[in-house]
Chain A
Amino acid sequence: MAIRHMDELVQAGLEQAVELMVLAAHNSLRFGGKNTLKIISVGQEEMEEIANYALSLGDMSPLAARDGRFVMELIKEPWALLLLGDKRKSVFGYDCGACGYPSCAEMNRVEEMESLTSNGPACMFRVLNLNLAANAAAAAAWRLGLHCRVFSTLAFSAKALEIIEDCDIVASVAVSAAKQDPFFDRHKFWTREHWDQTFEKEFPTFTRGFIGAVED
């Protein structure tokens, strides 16, 4: 029998694992029995686009920028990204009020508010179904021993870039077969100087001696 080497086996295993994750997400529990989700996985080119876009949001969102920098590193070892999306309008008829409108019909009639991240208002139960699927994919990845993290930043970037089309609300699940878990304790993606600058900007009161002090 021909010898297959580790790298090839890991990549093949990862591809199978992603299919199993999609299966778990596809079959996850749904309120109202509505299975309207769209699920795709992306390739290298799209992932780089997503990373660059997230990085470009640095001024608005240090979190997105950090995830953008992180993705550029992530893709150096075997990885995959699932994007999950759905439409926003209620198909349930629960009239529960969580969206702020007294009935589903009224919410569905209201003018759509478009934005790069999501289009609203979105039905609570559609968002629940979307994220139940995301968690089911993540739980499958966990059982298969993959490194995994759920990202809203990457999902929002993918929606803004129209990589996932015809969806109002989105979520993403990234997995990796890197030698070490790349998703947590991501200190190497910060230089000390950049970390200090960002911290000072985001938490200005932390180092201020007197709470009533005036900022420069």
Chain B
Amino acid sequence: MSMERSIRQYQEDRRQAVAIAARLLLASGTTSPRVGGVGECTFHIMEDPCDIEDLCQKMEELAEEKEKWDFFRREAAMLRDADAVILITSLRSLNDPSDINCNMCGRLTCDYLREAERLQAGPGVAFTGPLCIFRAANIAYALDGLISQARNLGIDYGAYWSAGLAGMRLGLLPRDTGFALGVGISITEKSPFRDIPLRYSEINQRSMNDRIIQRLWPQFRSIYS
């Protein structure tokens, strides 16, 4: 397809739509409910393809840390096709239990949770729990706020905790972040987050393009010229 002026304009408008949509999603996530009405979540928009690539490479690096995190590679391949990534954080789950003594963390009271020994940060440890699990409800509300808006706007989305972890490890998120998730959004004709074949980290649009078009095209040209 030749890139005539009107098609270039469409591509530019699509990019602008991504920037607007990401901010509308942020608005919906921000105003979603919080337990006890106490604010604790922040939202960080990544729309520069270079930033998204850094995040994806970090996810792939993290996949090396633990066998069970092998699926991070697949998610990185999906997020490479995202037009923007929104990282959602929980800033209270780490150091500020909700003082409701709900026992979801299994420590019976919030005072016991404060005294509980934490996991040491390091390879193979994603989040240094025990976190205040009651606060996790806020992350869920924030995430569903984003999803609800994405559905209103008719744009494609995917939610990945691997992206949140990568954002934490890259130092992109506030210091007090105890837990983070990433939401990829896409304004394209086919969602990059659905219909994902097996071995997607190896066989995807980029690798397909590279192996079938970029590698064969020069040979085709040499032979048939």
- Which of A93, A118, A121, A130 lies in contact with B130, CB distance below 8 A? A121
Chain B interface extent, by class: 35 or more
Asked whether A171 is an interface residue with its Cβ less than 8 Å from the other chain, the reply is: yes
Closest chain A residue, CB of each to CB of B94: A98
Chain B: minimal CB distance from A58 (Å) = 16
Asked whether B203 is an interface residue with its Cβ less than 8 Å from the other chain, the reply is: no
Chain B: minimal CB distance from A172 (Å) = 12
CB–CB A97/B128 < 8 A: yes
Q: Contacts A94-B161, A100-B116, A113-B108 given; indicate if A120 touches B103 (C-beta within 8 A).
A: yes
CB–CB B108/A135 < 8 A: no
Main secondary structure of the interface of B (DSSP, over half): loop
Asked whether A23 is an interface residue with its Cβ less than 8 Å from the other chain, the reply is: no
Complex Cα gap A97–B102 (Å) = 20
A181-193 vs B, CB cutoff 8 Å, 1 = contact: the mask equals: 0000000000000
Q: Most chain-A CB neighbours within 10 Å: which of B93, B102, B134, B145?
A: B102
Asked whether A40 is an interface residue with its Cβ less than 8 Å from the other chain, the reply is: no
Asked whether B100 is an interface residue with its Cβ less than 8 Å from the other chain, the reply is: yes
Asked whether B97 is an interface residue with its Cβ less than 8 Å from the other chain, the reply is: no
Asked whether A35 is an interface residue with its Cβ less than 8 Å from the other chain, the reply is: no
Considering only residues 103-152 of chain B, those with a C-beta below 8 Å from chain A are 103-108, 116-119, 124-131, 133-134, 136-137, 139-141, 143-145, 147-148
CB–CB A127/B137 < 8 A: yes
Asked whether B101 is an interface residue with its Cβ less than 8 Å from the other chain, the reply is: yes
- Which of A97, A124, A156 lies in contact with B133, CB distance below 8 A? A124
Point out the residues of chain B lying under 8 angstroms from A41, CB to CB.
none
CB–CB A98/B126 < 8 A: yes
Chain A: minimal CB distance from B129 (Å) = 4
Chain B: minimal CB distance from A113 (Å) = 4
Point out the residues of chain A lying under 8 angstroms from B125, CB to CB.
97, 102
Asked whether A110 is an interface residue with its Cβ less than 8 Å from the other chain, the reply is: yes
Instruction: Please give the residue numbers on chain B whose beta carbons come within 8 Å of chain A beta carbons, in ascending order.
Output: 32-33, 35, 66, 68-69, 93, 100-108, 116-119, 124-131, 133-134, 136-137, 139-141, 143-145, 147-148, 159, 161, 165, 179
Instruction: Please give the residue numbers on chain A whose beta carbons come within 8 Å of chain B beta carbons, in ascending order.
Output: 28-29, 31, 88, 93-102, 110, 112-113, 115, 117-122, 124-125, 127-132, 134-136, 138-139, 150, 152, 156, 169, 171
List 4 extra interface pairs beyond A29-B144, A97-B126, CB under 8 A: A120-B103, A121-B104, A124-B127, A135-B148
